[in-house]
Amino acid sequence: MAKTISAIRGTQDVLPGESYQWQYIEKTLLETASLYGYKEVRVPVFEQTDLFQRSVGDTTDVVQKEMYTFDDKGGRSLTLRPEGTAGSVRCLLEHGLYNEALPVKACYVLSCYRYEKPQAGRLREFHQFGIECFGAPESSADAEIIAVAHHAFERFGLKNIHLEINSIGCPECRAKYLEALREHFRKSEADLCETCKGRLERNPMRILDCKSPICGEIAATAPKMIDYICDDCRAHFEGVKTKLDAMGISYTVNPTIVRGLDYYTRTVFEFVSTEIGAQGTVCGGGRYDGLVEEMGGPHLPSLGFAMGLERLLMLMKAQGVPFPEDKKPELYVVPMGDAAQIAAAKYCEQLRREGFAALTDLNGRGLKAQMKYANKLNVGYTLVLGDDELSAGKANVKNMATGEQTQVALDNLTEEFYKIVMESAFDAMEVSVNDLGK
Ligand code: ATP
Ligand code: MG
């Protein structure tokens, strides 16, 4: 056999037996967002490198260390998207969506690419669900986007996810703060990591988000933005808190949250769990009032969040929340002989047209082997189709759970099978209604 090729480090396959979990997560998230007026946007996997440099910010870890950047055959520098906001803003501008009634609300499920050290909850290809709300300056918008994530966690039945919020002010009040930060970090400049030394003058706030333990230690005693925010930013932050309180969403103010990307202003937040190891931030987001303008668009105060789906799934498994069951095949038709195989193809296709998952033999196997296969697939019903059944025009549908057999007329198979399935569903309901009475 030829040598096999394995997957790239930091990537994961979703196997056929697990994909229903992903489908459930994605569907639930998109449905939740739609309750708040969000519509799905789909943007390309790669974009011009400039787009991410300008929007994510060239002093961030993402741009400095983590991007998958390459020249294509035409010599253009392209980058695999490390996140979804940049592409969404580009899409908004390119299609003039901001001319529509504001706010424009877009959501997405997408793969992201970051060259990071692979570990539990940290991959090189990972997936995010995100929302972007363009053109909404008021604090009610901040509270509402937080509510979307909160609502989704609640729908999944998740508990103990802590919401931490902070305000990192606006460019005006931040100028004073950045000076105070520089002063603080200059004192320990020699101990900072090389990347942070370069950040000291250009963007000292990035040092607060550095993952190096020494920088973290120096950052722990740094001045806090919350002590420097201006009256407008403070009032805005108070507005966010009041509305969260009104919606019954609890939070902690954590003055150390700054978020990893450059574009944030005012509100920043994270949903954090302690149950999935060191990479506990399941969702992060905030306001980015200047981003759209910086990307060449109008002044359009906007905000959003992104949720890491691998981390969400890890948390769901850690807490043992229920997933809806994967759909099982309803009927397996067991053909015995060539004529039966042709008839099985016909009957299965008729059943599928009515929405039943109907399977049949594709390997020319005998009765025993087919039944074994059907059992493995956990099918609801089987129907053995041989020459006798074909000439009689009748066959037995066997309920695999109860062993009960029901005769059906083959030329009316779909309708009669439908009745069998409905009756058994009805019986199951009666049982559960009776159970309720006990
Ligand atoms: P972290 O501090 O964990 O690196 P971040 O600030 O880089 O996170 P964001 O850019 O805000 O993360 O992305 C939003 C969410 O996407 C994160 O909260 C996390 O759940 C998820 N995420 C980010 N990077 C990865 C990764 N490499 N692998 C898996 N999930 C990730
Ligand atoms: Mg990161």
What confidence tens digit (pLDDT) does each residue in 258-294 have? 887 778 899 999 999 999 998 999 999 999 999 999 9
DSSP secondary structure, 112-141, as one string: EE-----BTTB-SEEEEEEEEEES--SHHH
CA 42 to ligand 2 centroid distance, Å: 23
What confidence tens digit (pLDDT) does each residue in 212-270 have? 899 999 999 999 998 999 999 999 999 999 999 999 999 999 998 988 777 889 999 99
Within 10 angstroms of residue 4's Cβ, the number of other Cβ atoms is 5
| Token representation of residue 195 | 């990347």
Ligand nearest to the CA of 285: 1
CA 145 to ligand 2 centroid distance, Å: 21
Q: What does pLDDT average to in each consecutive run of 10 residues of the chain (438 residues)?
A: 95 96 98 98 98 92 94 98 98 98 98 97 98 98 98 98 96 91 94 92 89 91 93 98 98 89 90 94 97 96 98 98 92 97 98 97 96 96 98 98 96 97 87 65
Which residue's CA is the closest to the ligand 1 atom numbered 23? 308
3-state helix, strand, coil in the chain (%, to 5): 45, 20, 35
CA 74 to ligand 1 centroid distance, Å: 32
C-alpha span between 38 and 300 (Å, rounded): 18
Fold of the 19-170+229-318 domain: BirA Bifunctional Protein; domain 2 (3.30.930)
Q: Where are the domains of the chain?
A: 19-170+229-318, 331-431
CA 156 to ligand 1 centroid distance, Å: 20
DSSP, res 325: P
**10-36 residues labelled b (16+ CB within 10 A) or e (exposed):** beeeeeeeeeebeebbeeebbebbeee
CATH entry, 331-431, from 3.30.470.20, 2.60.120.10, 1.10.10.10, 3.40.50.800: 3.40.50.800
Residue 436 confidence (pLDDT): 65
CA 60 to ligand 2 centroid distance, Å: 9
Tell me the C-alpha to C-alpha distance, in Å, between residue 197 and each of 59, 66, 191, 392.
Answer: 11, 18, 9, 86
C-alpha span between 330 and 274 (Å, rounded): 41
The β-bridge partners of 383 are 333, 397
Q: Where are the alpha helices (DSSP H) in 227-319?
A: 231-246, 291-294, 309-319
Which residue's CA is the closest to the ligand 1 atom numbered 19? 308
User: What's the residue count for the chain?
Assistant: 438
**Which residues are near ligand 1 (CB < 6 Å)?**
83, 114, 116, 121-123, 126, 128, 259-261, 279, 281-284, 306, 308, 310-311
